[in-house]
Amino acid sequence: MTAPPGREDDLPVVLELLDLERVDGGAGPDGTERFVGRHPERTTFSRTFGGQLLAQSLMAAGRTVDGDRYVHSAQTHFIRGGDKRRDLDFTVARLRDGRGFANRRVDVTQDGALVCTMLAAFSGPADGLEHGRALPQVPPPEGLPVFDEALRGYEDPLAVFSGALHPIDLRYAHDPPWVQKGTGEARTENHVWMRPAGEFPDDPHLHAALLAYASDMTVLDTILTRHGLSWGIDRVLAATLNHSLWFHRPARFDRWLLYASTSPVAAGSRGTGTGTFFAPDGTTQASVVQEGVVRYFAPRAPSGT
């Protein structure tokens, strides 16, 4: 895998963020284990990116799980925005180590204040019934524009995106929200091909962490696109409240995955986005549900009208 032009250094930066520093070399007297995570030097976000918190939390939890178990679910509640100028403390509690399953809780804090908390469950391989959804019929990723090309002409209103790290190679299978905005159309489903923007070690925890990072991208798009709105162009405030992620199989993110998302409901200044990751052969890899605060400030009518 090769990174899009000009983005060769972005994935290595995120991989370094996921290499958490273990504190005290092992479990503390209460059985918890602690790690320290850092922020990238370059970021356009005012607070810690939620995908970073998801990925780092999964790495912390995975470092405490033995054997060939892989994460199969992770539910995260975001309590407050992280301060991107300070390190993050990750405390992992071993809730259970059974024969088939292991459960962990990860609390992320700064100066003792809780930023978010994750409940993660791990299990080993097992046989059983299988079924899934059909792969949506969309163009293949190879002929689609890379993200920076899709942003061309919109760099100023979407500076928070254009200047951000892009460790994931994103390719919209249709017009992205800011282009759709100009067509006057509405879209109830979004389809984006994704893969890491470069090579990375074949560590199962890294595969899961990078997929978690990617799962926080574009999942809330359809809250806006079904109303014909766009990030950066319309006055929209958004913040993630909670994020649930299920891995139906051991995560493999060394290939293109199609992220298909929609929004079943928005009400009370909150919206919910749901997403599914498909492998090119149609195998369902992971499912996502995310709730966020989404506030739209309609343009004021001209005075005197």
Structure confidence at residue 303 (pLDDT): 62
| CATH class of this structure's domain 10-125+145-296 | mainly beta
Which of 169, 216, 221, 234 is flagged as catalytic?
Answer: 216
Structure confidence at residue 46 (pLDDT): 84
Query: How far is Cα 192 from Cα 97, in angstroms, rounded to an integer?
Result: 37
CB 271 within 8 A of CB 128: no
The string of pLDDT tens digits covering residues 184-207 is 889 999 999 999 999 999 999 999
Structure confidence at residue 29 (pLDDT): 57
What sign has the CA pseudo-torsion 144, 147, 151, 152? negative
**Greatest distance between any 2 Cα atoms in the chain:** 72
In the residue annotation, 240 being an active-site residue is answered as yes
In the residue annotation, 216 being an active-site residue is answered as yes
Structure confidence at residue 132 (pLDDT): 87
Q: Domain map of the chain by residue range?
A: 10-125+145-296
Structure confidence at residue 234 (pLDDT): 92
Query: How far is Cα 124 from Cα 116, in angstroms, rounded to an integer?
Result: 27
CB 105 within 8 A of CB 92: yes
Residue 221 DSSP SS3 = helix
Beta pairing, strands 270-278 & 257-267: antiparallel
In the residue annotation, 262 being an active-site residue is answered as no
The size of the chain, in residues, is 305
Which of 52, 240, 262, 272 is flagged as catalytic?
Answer: 240
**What are the pLDDT tens digits along the chain (305 aa)?**
788 888 899 999 999 999 999 997 666 657 799 999 999 988 888 899 999 999 999 999 999 998 889 999 999 999 999 999 999 999 999 999 998 899 999 999 999 999 999 999 999 888 899 898 889 999 999 999 999 999 999 999 988 888 899 999 999 999 999 999 988 889 999 999 999 999 999 999 999 999 999 999 999 999 999 999 999 899 999 999 999 999 999 999 999 999 999 999 999 999 999 999 999 999 999 999 999 999 999 886 666 55
Structure confidence at residue 299 (pLDDT): 81
